[in-house]
């Protein structure tokens, strides 16, 4: 959870911008000094929060903000 929170803070601060590719799970684990399975759980948590998207065979990327969603939720 601490790894996910730290990466989330990096995204919020703009250090990691939308579209930026995150390191692989093993590299993230090495960067944070945790097992790669811990890094995998952190990435899954970030995906659940909507902060990153994982594209098979491509990697994990910082998600773009959903600013283009309709703000009026169907009400005129």
pLDDT in tens, 54-68: 999 999 999 998 754
pLDDT at residue 70 is higher than 80: no
The reported pTM is 0.81
Range 33-55 average pLDDT: 96
Q: How far apart are the first and last CA of the chain?
A: 40
**Cβ 63 vs Cβ 49: under 8 Å:** no
pLDDT tens sequence across 18-39: 999 999 999 999 999 999 999 9
């Amino acid at each position: 959870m601490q790894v996910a929170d730290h990466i989330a803070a990096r995204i919020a601060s703009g250090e990691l911008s939308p579209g930026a590719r995150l390191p692989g799970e093993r590299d993230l684990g090495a960067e944070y000094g945790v097992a790669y399975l811990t890094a995998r759980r952190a990435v899954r948590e970030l995906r659940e929060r909507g902060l990153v998207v994982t594209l098979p065979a491509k990697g994990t990327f910082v998600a773009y903000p959903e600013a283009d969603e309709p703000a009026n939720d169907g009400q005129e």
